[in-house]
């Protein structure tokens, strides 16, 4: 793939294009984006150096691989427009479409883009700072080479893994898709609690953020299991043990499990409604 297009030039498209340029996967002149919003086009070009136009079909015509980076509520019209443009089987077969629209299934995409190769991706917000987690699943016509190409794309803004079963996308949505909000909530709760204990709000937030950042880095580099790392910090009769007992009393693990289950259930509902 020597040219990449984006239909939609919002935050995720901008982050991906920026990462691809920074990692030298693509040059700015090898990419192009389309968006009806002039302000979005200006922000995209300013951040990435990539040209942005108002015409979706101009992007589809010039790029063999197109990232569909539009909102789920607007993708129906976009798919109808593109589907009419690539109606000829030979034209469709030459195109790879990569959808990051939440809840839009492979069946929906392949029915709207008959003959095209399709891969569905669930990215997350930390891609905007190069620390994303994306999961992808390929459609019936997409090849192993297509899959490797898309892994390379999203590895430019974090990590990417391949799913064999599209049904797992709902679990991914509940974990890494929605997960950043859970972490933000936990950091806020830590900071608020520390503020109540006397720390200045700015100090408490900075310390909570660095504590979570450091713990994540240590866990990522350690060969110990999460349970072993917890035991390493929690000395018998100490402060950490006192805190962990309170977490157990309040069923912290059950609350997290219930939240993830609720998010996964809602993801399934949204997919079925479309």
pLDDT tens string 211-222: 999 999 999 999
Q: Examine the pLDDT at 1 and tell me if it is beyond 80.
A: no
Which of 50-59, 88-97, 137-146, 183-192 is predicted least confidently? 88-97
Q: How far is CA 35 from the centre of its chain?
A: 20
Q: Which two tokens stand for residue 176?
A: 């890494």
Q: Examine the pLDDT at 274 and tell me if it is beyond 70.
A: no
Q: Examine the pLDDT at 144 and tell me if it is beyond 90.
A: yes
| pLDDT at residue 270, as a whole number | 81
CB 71 within 8 A of CB 102: no
Q: Which domains are present in the chain?
A: 4-165 (3.40.50.720), 179-272 (1.10.3730.10)
Helices 179-196, 201-221: axis angle to 10 degrees equals 130
Q: Examine the pLDDT at 92 and tell me if it is beyond 70.
A: no
| pLDDT at residue 90, as a whole number | 67
| pLDDT at residue 85, as a whole number | 87
Count the alpha carbons within 13 Å of 32 in the hemisphere toward its beta carbon: 16
Mean per-residue pLDDT for 74-103?
Answer: 87
Q: How many CB atoms lie within 10 A of CB 94?
A: 13
Q: How far is CA 235 from the centre of its chain?
A: 37
């Amino acid at each position: 793939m020597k040219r990449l297009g984006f239909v939609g030039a919002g935050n995720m498209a901008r982050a991906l294009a920026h990462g691809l340029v920074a990692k030298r996967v693509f040059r700015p002149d090898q990419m192009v984006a389309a968006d009806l919003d002039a302000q979005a086009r200006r922000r995209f070009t300013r951040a990435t150096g990539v040209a942005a136009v108002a015409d979706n079909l101009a992007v589809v015509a010039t790029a063999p691989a197109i990232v569909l980076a539009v909102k789920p509520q607007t993708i129906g019209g976009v798919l109808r427009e593109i589907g009419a443009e690539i109606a000829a089987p030979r034209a469709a077969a030459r195109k790879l479409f990569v959808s990051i629209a939440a809840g839009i299934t492979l069946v929906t995409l392949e029915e709207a883009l008959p003959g095209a190769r399709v891969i569905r991706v669930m990215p997350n917000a930390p891609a905007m700072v190069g620390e994303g987690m994306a999961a992808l699943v390929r459609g019936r016509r997409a090849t192993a080479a297509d899959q490797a190409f898309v892994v390379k794309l999203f590895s430019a803004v974090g990590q990417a893994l391949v799913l064999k079963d599209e049904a797992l996308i709902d679990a991914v949505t509940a974990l890494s898709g929605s997960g950043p909000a859970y972490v933000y909530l936990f950091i806020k709760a830590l900071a608020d609690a520390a503020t109540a204990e006397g720390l200045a709000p700015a100090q408490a937030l900075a310390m909570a953020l660095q504590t979570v950042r450091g713990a994540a880095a240590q866990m990522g580099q350690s060969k110990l299991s999460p349970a072993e790392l917890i035991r390493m910090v929690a000395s018998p009769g100490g402060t950490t043990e006192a805190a962990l007992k309170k977490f157990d009393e309040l069923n912290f693990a059950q609350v997290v499990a219930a939240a993830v289950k609720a998010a996964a259930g809602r993801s399934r509902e949204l997919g079925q409604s479309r």
